[in-house]
Amino acid sequence: MDAHQLPAAEKTQQTHELLNQAYKRLTLDSRRTPMHELVSTMLSHRTNHADEVKAYNTMLERFGDWEGVMQADENELADAIQTTRYPGQKAPQIQQTLRRIQEKQGEINIDFLKDIPVEEAMEWLTSLPGVGLKTATLLLLFNFKKPVLPVDTHVFRVSQRVGLIGASVTANKAHALLLSMLPKDPVELFNFHKHLFWHGQRVCTFYSPKCEECVLQHICNYYQGVRLKKIDT
């Protein structure tokens, strides 16, 4: 059997090992508070990191704290986060989220999530406006070291091209499917996520993947099935 025809679970394991060798291993130390991570992830949608950070800093400089952001005029908040894409949609969404957290917890603080089971924490977070699986898993893994796998656009694209998940699997379904094939160790999951993210940004890019320099070439469905056939013809 050729390497690219291996069962998905074996391929996932090999992908993890190969990318562990290709990229540096990271420790799992949260850099930001849970509220910072939550709101930054909402700001980051279709926005580069520098513009997301600029929006976050401007917002807090202008309104002081989460209470101030929640009570700010919606248009002024949109103006403060204008370096992100869709500030007019993100501003009310952030305010609704802050209001819901305060209603549910009596304060704008989500530190309690570290003490509840992962399924319950997922359910709680995804019940907030504008918080989907990607944001919830990022927060739970990065901040609370819970064993979940965030699947962003890069992780999703690389996983589909290599053949860890099928072509018809949605990004939402990919979270559980990929997780089921990986060790339930938060540090391993964190490294798998970061390595696929970097690989998607630097090598397996959206428009022109650099297959010739890719360490996953021999196990990759896309390369074996599409690129090599094109080279042959």
The footprint of ligand SF4 (CB under 6 A) covers 158, 161-162, 203-204, 209-211, 214, 216-217, 220, 222-223
Q: Shortest CA distance to 86 belongs to which of 112, 128, 51?
A: 51
CB of 160 vs ligand SF4, minimal distance in Å: 9
CB of 221 to ligand SF4, least distance (A): 8
Between CA 233 and CA 230 the distance in angstroms is: 5
Nearest to ligand SF4 of 61, 213 (CB atom): 213
Burial 10-39 (b: 16+ CB within 10 A, else e): ebbbbbbebbeeebeeeebeeeeebbebbb
Residue 78 or 204: which CB sits closer to ligand SF4? 204
Please state the closest distance from residue 149 (CB atom) to ligand SF4, in A: 18
Q: In whole angstroms, how close is the CB of 159 to ligand SF4 at the nearest point?
A: 9
CB atoms inside a 10 Å sphere around CB 41: 22
Q: How many whole angstroms separate alpha carbon 7 and alpha carbon 85? A: 39
Nearer to ligand SF4, 184 or 210 (CB): 210
Q: Quick one: 177 or 220, whose CB is closer to ligand SF4?
A: 220
Given the structure tokens 């025809």, which residue do they identify?
Answer: 5
Q: Tokens representing 134?
A: 């990607």
| Helical pair 34-43 and 49-63, crossing angle rounded to 10 deg | 120
Residue 38 or 220: the one with the smaller Cβ distance to ligand SF4 is 220
State the minimum distance, in angstroms, from the CB of residue 225 to ligand SF4. 10
